[in-house]
Amino acid sequence: MKRVRLDKILGNMGYGSRKELKKIIKHGLIKVDGEVVKKSSIHVNPYESIIEINGEIVEYREKIYIMMNKPKGVISATYDNRHNTVIDLLEEKYLSFNPFPMGRLDIDTEGLLIITNDGKLSHDILSPKKHIPKTYYAHIRGEVKEEDVEAFKEGIILDNDYKTLGSHLEIEESGEVSKINLTIFEGKFHQVKRMFEARNKKVLYLKRIAMGRLRLDDNLELGEYRELSDQELDLLKSSIAK
């Protein structure tokens, strides 16, 4: 990487506006390679130099990867004029990365959502050609039976005559309200709801629990999020078939 202006590096990482950073730098709060710097215009290679703010080392990165347990009532988009979006739930420090949700969950769907600014990875994960599995846990009105498992394995004809790829349905409990896990290998609009509708059943509750090899962290409460660990990012990346 080339050398970049110090205030640009710190600004991109959400440490403040140019004006704010100028002040911080003037106050002598920033060190580069152990030396206090007083000019925001100096050029630094953030991968080679050690930058400290108030004694804390800045871990430079250009990409961010966040796992969120999406709650109901928020939209998987960067902007909406009626509802809060998943981006509105993020701390300010992430906003300078221009993050966006990797794919969509319906407003009433909960669970695993990756939020990132990595357009290439997002494109690969969502590519219809890659068939990345997505697993959902759901409550279904109506008795889900073995014949549904077989039909889902075969592929389901949706309301627009599209036949889905074969999917993997697991029944946890069958009854007036059934509890199931379903893994699908594509991502058509409202796909899970429409697959059950085609079987005359209604999805009452829907939560995504896995995308590729990456599973939702059970410790995240609804609306909570955290950055992916390096291992989790590797898991996600390794889900893409070559």
List interacting residues with ligand URA (CB under 6 A). 105-106, 109, 190-193, 206
SS3 assignment, position 229: coil
Judged by CB, which is closer to ligand URA: 5, or 215? 215
Q: How far is the CB of 32 from ligand URA (least distance, A)?
A: 46
Residue closer to ligand URA (CB basis): 116 or 191: 191
- Choice among 7, 80, 88, 106 that is catalytic: 106
Question: What does DSSP say about strands 65-70 and 56-57: parallel, antiparallel, or unpaired?
Answer: unpaired
CB of 193 to ligand URA, least distance (A): 4
Compare residues 30 and 87 and give the one whose CB is closer to ligand URA. Answer: 87
DSSP conformational letter for 85: B
At its nearest, how many Å lie between ligand URA and the CB of residue 194? Answer: 7
Q: What is the secondary structure of 103-138 as a DSSP string?
A: S---TT-EEEEEEES-HHHHHHHH-TTT---EEEEE
| Bridge partner list, 57 | 52
CA-wise closest residue to 74 among 174, 185, 187, 224: 224
Q: Is 88 a catalytic residue?
A: no
User: What residues act catalytically?
Assistant: 106
